[in-house]
Structure 1
Amino acid sequence: MTWIRITNKLPLRRSALGDVGAPIVSLTSYGDRVAMTHFAIESILRGKLRPSRIILWVDDQKTVDFLPRQLKRLRQAGLEVRVADGGSGPHTKYFDALALALADGVPLVTADDDTVYPADWLHRLFAYYLGHPDGVACYRARRVVIDTSDRDSGPRLTPYSQWPLIKDSSVSNRNFVTGVSGALYPAELMRALVARGTQFEELCPKADDVWINHTALQAQIPIRVVDGRSRDFISLESTQAIGLKHANVMQGGNDAQIAATYSELDRKRLAGSS
């Protein structure tokens, strides 16, 4: 992390943003996590491909007014810090940026505030998307597992914790993108998400991945893993204590929100996929 600290302290920084046409990168942070967010942002800005814009969404104006000095320096390099509209929770990471990406005519990439990304992260993600522009490109996904043993009750989704990480390049309705390592969303999916509005507030308010995957299923938008191998990048463990993964994965929160979101028709559609 030493190089990040050194880079962040450089005086008179110029914009580190990339060419017009590169994706917008969007991430969100809150509370004590904000103080560590510069590690993720610096790692993205040092990449082989730099985003056309990079936006950090925060909860309130007070956070903007009292930004850590590291984020103030990053503003000189092109970082936009914006206050989220409110009420979107983890969905803020993509939802508030949809209109901006559609207006700019570029894909939207989401990142996590507690991850340090490799230098080729955005470049490889965007290059993979250019080869498969019809769908989502991501670095990590699971494959939904369906239990069809009970013919009377119909197909059932097994617990989320039992869904294996994808380790191949196959395209399937059962591919379930997890945004933790980064994902790129094409215009068709962004338009579908905009059209659905904030219905997620009732069904899966704390599970943005669930809503994105369900929308992709509804719109028949394929999900592909870059190079067919799910991967995790360096995580800042000190920020994990207040993350959602404990409630959503370890305590079964994802399962409840998946059950509320996926209908019987959705489950049958997944059961009919390979």
Structure 2
Amino acid sequence: MPYSSWALCTSTASSLDLLPTGVSGVIYPPKVLNALRERGDEFMRYCPRADDFWLHYAAVASGVETRQVSETAAEWWPSRPRQKGLWHENFANGGNDAISAEVARAWLVE
């Protein structure tokens, strides 16, 4: 399913299928932080401008489910940005789909 069609989280249930974003902050347990430390700056090879995917797959590879602390997102982009930037590069042009697939391979296959 393309990233652009993913629904926002509306639950506090934990899952490996949730992609936490740093818009309102994310807290990761030591198990995930240790996995990240072991990989060093390898994320720069795969997703230097989309770190949420790197963090997500570090959690998945570590077997750590994530959850939202309330049933609705605390903050989200209310509308599409007018300027070209990460939104245009990663979201509007389907870049997040390619990034997600490559990062998943880096964490879950290697």
TM range (shorter): 0.7 to 0.9
> Where in structure 2 are there 5+ consecutive unaligned residues?
none
Q: Distance in 2 between matches of 1:181 and 1:252?
A: 23
Name the residue aligned to 1:193. Answer: 36
Bigger fraction of residues in strand: 1
Q: Which amino acid aligns with 1:164?
A: A
Question: How far apart are residue 234 of structure 1 and its match?
Answer: 8.0
Describe how 1:108-119 pairs up with structure 2 within 5 A: none
Question: Of the two structures, which has the highest relative contact order with CA contacts closer than 8 Å and spacing of 6 or more?
Answer: 2
1:228 counterpart = 2:71: yes
Q: Name which of 239, 254, 261 aligns with 2:103.
A: 261
Q: Distance in 1 between matches of 2:89 and 2:11?
A: 28
Tell me the matched-pair count: 107
Describe how 1:38-187 pairs up with structure 2 within 5 A: 158-187=1-30
Q: Which amino acid aligns with 2:38?
A: A
Q: Secondary structure at the match of 1:248?
A: helix
Q: Name which of 190, 204, 207 aligns with 2:47.
A: 204
Kindly name which structure, 1 or 2, has the bigger radius of gyration based on alpha carbons. 1
Q: Secondary structure at the match of 1:261?
A: helix
Normalising by structure 2, report the TM-score: 0.80
Normalising by structure 1, report the TM-score: 0.35
CA separation of 1:242 and 1:234: change in aligned 2, threshold 3 A = same
CA separation of 1:191 and 1:163: change in aligned 2, threshold 3 A = same
Name the residue aligned to 1:214. Answer: 57
| Identical columns (%) | 35
1:246 counterpart = 2:91: no
CA separation of 1:233 and 1:173: change in aligned 2, threshold 3 A = closer
Q: Which amino acid aligns with 1:168?
A: S
Question: How far apart are residue 233 of structure 1 and its match?
Answer: 5.7
Runs of 4+ in 1 over 6 A off after TM superposition: none
Question: How far apart are residue 242 of structure 1 and its match?
Answer: 5.4
Q: Which amino acid aligns with 1:231?
A: A
